[in-house]
Amino acid sequence: MSYEVLAIRYATRDTWTRDIYANPWVYDEPDRPARMDYFFWLLRGGGRIVLVDTGFTPEVGAARARTTLCPPPRALARLGVEPADVDTVVITHAHYDHTGNAGIFPRAQIVISDRELAFWTGPYGGRQQFAHSAERADLGTLRRLDDAGRVTRMSGRHQVAPGIELIEVGGHTPGQLIALVDGEAGPVLLASDAVHYYDELDLDRPFAVFADLAGMYAGFDTVRDLAAASGAAVVAGHDPAVLTRFTPWDTADPGFAVRVG
Ligand SMILES: [Zn+2]
């Protein structure tokens, strides 16, 4: 089974490399301006619609000085997808920019790492250095969906559907997931925040925010190994280069979405 795979850019912000890499003084380089884009991913094929992450709402983005370009529900409408059409929502990790809107899909089963969900409801998820990266309301939504039996907790590797496999890598968060997808245009590895920027892989530089630094390096190795073994194109989680490495979904608006698989 293969899928049309889209990376949809819903928000952006201007930042600096000092805010991107962990302990940037290690590299002895000048600070440089950088852009961070925010994506979620849509898979459709065989009568199935799977979302990978759900972005944030404009209100949550504004409170964190992020510029929302197209709220995810509107982006989905533009792509011909209504909330009730979505069968499965994968939450790659529970940071605020991946969990907003998770409650608007009335039929969807949510898939998340068991370790991830346990972490955010456990003794450390509420401590400030971690809590800063999550939205309490979104965590409450995930908890409510879990209570309603609509959350599948996985660990290790998990097949969502034929041609869609999740791999738990940790590092950035305790249960960070990546997704290996049989794309119509070839296999793709949706790295989400296991790889925010391609430079992280190319220069072996961990991102600034992590739960486990060694785990983040191990995640890079897993991404490299999986990409080499499968021939998959790696799709970084926040890199503007995604928009130029892949084909625009709408050539009149190349910044909206690209077809990655
Ligand atoms: Zn993110």
Span from the CA of 196 to the centroid of ligand 1 (angstroms): 7
Over residues 140-184, the pLDDT tens digits come to 999 999 999 999 999 999 999 999 999 999 999 999 999 999 999
Span from the CA of 15 to the centroid of ligand 1 (angstroms): 14
Over residues 218-256, the pLDDT tens digits come to 999 999 999 999 999 999 999 999 999 999 999 999 999
Share of the chain above pLDDT 70, in %: 100
pLDDT of residue 233: 98
pTM: 0.97
Span from the CA of 118 to the centroid of ligand 1 (angstroms): 19
pLDDT of residue 105: 98
> Among 197, 104, 85, 176, which Cα is nearest to 145's?
104
Span from the CA of 54 to the centroid of ligand 1 (angstroms): 11
Task: Give the CATH architecture of domain 4-259.
Answer: 4-Layer Sandwich (3.60)
Span from the CA of 237 to the centroid of ligand 1 (angstroms): 7
Give the mean model confidence (pLDDT) for residues 47-65: 98
Span from the CA of 104 to the centroid of ligand 1 (angstroms): 20
Span from the CA of 38 to the centroid of ligand 1 (angstroms): 7
Span from the CA of 4 to the centroid of ligand 1 (angstroms): 22
Span from the CA of 78 to the centroid of ligand 1 (angstroms): 23
Residue boundaries of the structural domains of the chain: 4-259
Span from the CA of 195 to the centroid of ligand 1 (angstroms): 9
Span from the CA of 202 to the centroid of ligand 1 (angstroms): 19
